[in-house]
Amino acid sequence: MNVLSLFDGISCAMVAINRCNITIKEYFASEIDKNAIAISHKNYPNIKRLGCVKSIKTNLLPPIDLLIFGSPCQDLSIAKKGRKGLSGDRSGLFWDAVKILKEIKPKYFIMENVASMKISDRDIITKELGVKPILFDASLVSAQSRKRYFWTNIPFSLPEDKNILLKDILLPADQISDILWVKETRDIYIPEGQSTANIRVGRDIQRRINNKGIRADNDKTITPIRRIEVRDDDKCGTLTSVLKDNQIVNIKDKRIRKIDPIECERLQGLPDNYTSGISYTHRYKALGNAFNVDVITHILKQIC
């Protein structure tokens, strides 16, 4: 296959294609983030790099068999205040991808984006691509809860849950860097009967909560504490481009730490140390912006 990956990031599409044993003639990648490119180049130095999606000249490309892209989600995600949707500067790059899709007419295409987008934006994408989206939660194939819409002309059905849990991908405590352990632990609330936990996604973090875990914002006698609700025998919250509280893991004895980049790689279906060689901050960003490889692999297996 000749493959064109737009907004290629760290080339998770290449990992999935290789995992499916699909032979690649040429893999063309459009990406502008220098740290993502550095990770991609370390793992796949022979990728043909095209730069910004706006500068791609499709008439210079060979026939493309597979077009895959996840256009930027920042203006679509519910996490963005005042989101502008498909008219935003970043998510508006969707229109450049659609233009390329219509020009190259690939045999197969896959588009991924956040499930929290407005219905109106979802319907516009559906109209432009001519296929209905399928909601695929990566929790079915990994230890991460990550709901995404997929628009594709590759017929597929959702897999059964593989029951991979957070505890299945955690590193031993003695392999965790000292810089990831949180020093202050006196403000942790753990519901009775729980000894290990993953911080809940959410807006209760840093609010005043009483000893029963109930909000008490107006009670000045309540000490601000963290609320921990999801155990490590459950799924991890969605990885984001910034390591937020929902990616902090409590191991035992009320010790908490940030999740390690290797654990993030495992949550995204990548090999250990795939993103090594750059700072932790840039690794977290690159991983939070990435495809879940196991999800893409499941879809591509339908054409193997």
73 is annotated as an active-site residue = yes
Distances (CA, A) of 45 to 11, 59, 127, 148: 11, 24, 37, 29
Distances (CA, A) of 88 to 67, 71, 95, 206: 23, 12, 11, 31
| DSSP-derived 3-state class of residue 195 | coil
Pick the catalytic residue from 73, 236, 264, 304: 73
Nearest-angstrom CA–CA distance, 152 and 107: 11
Residue 3 · residue 28 · CB < 8 Å: yes
Burial class (CB in 10 A: 0-12, 13-18, 19+), 67: buried
- List, edge to edge, every strand of the sheet that includes 108-114: 48-49, 26-30, 2-6, 66-69, 108-114, 147-152, 134-137
Distances (CA, A) of 43 to 5, 38, 50, 225, 276: 16, 9, 17, 42, 10
The residues annotated as belonging to the active site are 73
